[in-house]
Amino acid sequence: MGKFDRFCQSCGMPMEKDPQKGGANKDGSKNSKYCSYCFNNGEFNGDFKTSKEMIRFVKDKLKEQGFGCIKRWFYTSHISQLERWKK
């Protein structure tokens, strides 16, 4: 188990925070790599092409939820290292 395995491999959200406990594959089975906000019906949600776009989106969502700039940085600092964004 890698150090990021318990996080969505797209947005970095802890998987235990996902109300669906994972996204859905095309066949309806649970996907344990990606959260339900990022992945449904075997496809990624949204038009994110880069980790920078995802980081900006997540920071904006965290700001809406009242998180300060240090926590927003901390919670998004690892996104570029997640499986979806590694090249």
| Total Cβ atoms within 10 A of residue 6 | 11
CA-CA distance, 35 to 51, in Å (whole number)?
Answer: 16
Amino acid (1-letter code) at residue 71: K
The half-sphere exposure of 80 on its side-chain side, counting CA atoms within 13 A, is: 7
The pTM of the full predicted model, rounded to 2 decimals, is 0.89
CA distances (Å), 47 to each of 23, 61, 81, in order?
A: 17, 16, 19
Amino acid (1-letter code) at residue 86: K
Q: For residue 4, tell me if it sits in a domain.
A: no
Structural domains counted in the chain: 1
Q: For residue 32, tell me if it sits in a domain.
A: yes
Identify the domain containing residue 56 by its residue range. Answer: 15-85
CA-CA distance, 61 to 74, in Å (whole number)?
Answer: 14
**How does pLDDT run across 22-73, given as a tens digit for each residue?**
999 999 999 999 999 999 999 999 999 999 999 999 999 999 999 999 999 9
